[in-house]
Structure 1
Amino acid sequence: MKILVATEKPFAKVAVDGIRKEIEGAGYELALLEKYTDKAQLLDAVKDANALIIRSDVIDNEVLDAAKELKIVVRAGAGYDNVDLEAATAHGVCVMNTPGQNSNAVAELAFGMMIMAVRNFYDGKSGTELKGKKLGIHAYGNVGRNVARIAKGIGMEIYAYDAYCPKEVMEGDGIVPVDSAEALYETCNVVSLHIPATAETKNSINYDLVNRMPKNGLLVNTARKEVINEADLLRLMNDRPDLKYVTDIMPVHHAEFAEQFPGRYFSTPKKMGAQTAEANINAGIAAAKQIVGFLKDGCEKFRVNK
């Protein structure tokens, strides 16, 4: 069995070493395709691969057509919208992610951006504190729970909305559950987004929803850019000079946001949430372990396609 690690943005060496230990320790062959610059290189490399570990690399129908021996793809990270799930299912390929491995890294970045924003992006002027403010967590999954943990230490009042998480779970964590996204935004000074990009959520963060935030509201996005209705947010920030927006996913209209809202908007140059040494190592090794479990025992615990 041949396991291919195909990463345009490579794992750290220590992560590759950990992946190698898991794969070769199970008696499989490990192959690396790092820093490739052309899709043709990926198409050639997957021809005889039985399993594939990727990061943000795009796995579409063309790649799956080329990978005649492929049984499983594992995305080292939580999001998996770079993989065509329907095409994978049609090709008989199992797709998994590695939920939770990057969660603390993303949560810490969310707070780094929050603090930067309430301190006026460190421009020398007096800012505000997060302590005592109301934080809204939009989606209470792995990242949201880490955000809540950090917020407790800072001394924030914590609210959450998640249609799929039982209220008892949130209450057990000392979080106040609310019944709707609208209630969350009406209540909270800061809202941190952790929703996936689905047909239901795309463009759902719109004018009406964000406009419900109290004066001097702060919206933090470490989720996906597709969930933001950018035209609505541009219009709202023009109408509401008190609002700020910070994001880990550069908007399509980044230049307009930056030009129109200096001191109220910030975007990282690329998605940075999982870009820590620890997350890099954790996600890579988790991916290797899941592949071994799938190939040896048929374990599909983290399967995301049907």
Structure 2
Amino acid sequence: MKKVLVATDKPFAKIALDQIRGIVEGAGYQLALLEKYTTPQQLLDAVVDANAMIVRSDLITQEVVAAAKELKIVVRAGAGYDNLDLAACSAANVVAMNTPGQNANAVAELAFGMMVMLVRNNYNGTSGTELRGKKIGIHAYGNVGYYVAKIAKGFGMEVFAFDPFVSKEKMMADGVTPVATVEELYKTCQFVSLHIPATETTKKSINHGLLSLMPKGAMLINTARKEVIHEEDLVKLMSERADFRYVSDIEPGNKQEFADKFAGRYFFTPKKMGAQTEEANINAGVAAARQIVAFFEKGDETFRVNK
């Protein structure tokens, strides 16, 4: 009998776990749980005989992969997968997957929740501004970007996007104006919403040169990854421009400097919470369970992220 381990420092909601169990046990597999574990050794012990794993933000390192002698597949319940050591998975012939799109709407709604809060001055009773008629740029038009565009149009915003991997025709069919360069996106839009992954190319790519192109009253919204921001450059720019604001669901490494210098012009959630809704929690976990069953029963590797 195949064993599927759900290893989550931050557990799934009960309703999600019940559905995961139904899918896994319905396929004739065994479900094992490791929740709220406190040491890396607990994870290493739990993976020894697992054939498959479902994780959230849990770190699947080379050490974990080496300990999991029977492991064939690990699925990250969510879109980002930088917590998986892809090279280690590939070397051990372990298929690594994510569940793209399952938490996209949750992330998009959070982006707008943070935007509205800051344009209304944290609801402090003073006069703010409106989103209607403003231009928003979507940096990477994937699943989250698509939902950001839908919500933005509901607010009456003009929507632009840059993504070299998505056709202009696709964007235009969605009512989004494509731009040819990332510089054009930042130069055009008062609001820019980030949805790029953290890669060797993108790390610290959101820098002073790019951000300084943004119009007066600019706001950067980051629900992507902390690593894509050049944090020192962002502080430099915000020191130069009293009109620039930043919201993120990832606290920067220099968050105290923001507190000291930019009160009222930034907001960070206390932890990464773009996918922290009941619906996204269910969707991602259930998708991960279904992908594992499809992999074992049909050899389906549709959402594989390693080579």
**Range into which the TM-score falls when normalised by the shorter chain:** over 0.9
Deviations 1:42-75 (A, max 9, x none): 0000000000000000001100111000000000
Q: CA separation in 1, counterparts of 2:271 and 2:255?
A: 12
Q: CA separation in 1, counterparts of 2:246 and 2:26?
A: 47
Offset of residue 134 of structure 1: 0.3
**2:295 partner letter:** F
Q: CA separation in 2, counterparts of 1:139 and 1:61?
A: 30
Q: CA separation in 1, counterparts of 2:196 and 2:37?
A: 31
Q: What's the counterpart of residue 230 of structure 1?
A: 231
Q: CA separation in 2, counterparts of 1:216 and 1:130?
A: 12
**1:109 partner letter:** L
Q: What's the counterpart of residue 42 of structure 1?
A: 43
Q: CA separation in 2, counterparts of 1:224 and 1:61?
A: 22
Q: What's the counterpart of residue 126 of structure 1?
A: 127
Q: What's the counterpart of residue 20 of structure 2?
A: 19
The answer as to 2:88 corresponding to 1:111 is no
User: Any idea what SS the aligned residue of 1:299 has?
Assistant: coil
Deviations 1:103-154 (A, max 9, x none): 0000000000010111111121100000000010000000000000011111
Structure 1: tracts of 5 or more residues without a match: none
User: Any idea what SS the aligned residue of 1:136 has?
Assistant: strand
Q: CA separation in 1, counterparts of 2:20 and 2:153?
A: 35
User: Any idea what SS the aligned residue of 2:137 has?
Assistant: strand
Q: RMSD across aligned C-alpha pairs, in angstroms?
A: 0.5
**1:275 partner letter:** Q
Q: What's the counterpart of residue 242 of structure 2?
A: 241
Q: CA separation in 1, counterparts of 2:218 and 2:19?
A: 43
Offset of residue 167 of structure 1: 0.6
Q: What's the counterpart of residue 163 of structure 1?
A: 164
Deviations 1:77-117 (A, max 9, x none): 00000000001000110000000000000000000001011
Q: What's the counterpart of residue 102 of structure 2?
A: 101
- Is contact 1:258-1:266 (8 Å) kept? no
Offset of residue 189 of structure 1: 0.9
Q: What's the counterpart of residue 153 of structure 2?
A: 152
The answer as to 2:237 corresponding to 1:259 is no
Deviations 1:147-179 (A, max 9, x none): 000111110000000011111100111100001
Q: What's the counterpart of residue 279 of structure 2?
A: 278
**2:82 partner letter:** D
User: Any idea what SS the aligned residue of 1:241 has?
Assistant: coil
**2:145 partner letter:** G
Aligned positions, number? 306
Q: What's the counterpart of residue 294 of structure 1?
A: 295
The answer as to 2:72 corresponding to 1:79 is no
TM-score normalised by L of structure 1: 0.99
Q: What's the counterpart of residue 216 of structure 1?
A: 217
Offset of residue 295 of structure 1: 0.7
**2:135 partner letter:** K
Q: CA separation in 2, counterparts of 1:298 and 1:6?
A: 23
* 1:29-68 alignment runs, 5 A limit: 29-68=30-69
Structure 1 stretches of 4+ moved >4 Å: none
Q: CA separation in 2, counterparts of 1:77 and 1:56?
A: 8
The answer as to 2:279 corresponding to 1:269 is no
**1:225 partner letter:** K
Q: What's the counterpart of residue 144 of structure 2?
A: 143
Q: CA separation in 1, counterparts of 2:84 and 2:259?
A: 31
**1:80 partner letter:** Y
Q: CA separation in 1, counterparts of 2:190 and 2:14?
A: 41
Offset of residue 258 of structure 1: 1.8
TM-score normalised by L of structure 2: 0.99
Q: CA separation in 2, counterparts of 1:91 and 1:39?
A: 20
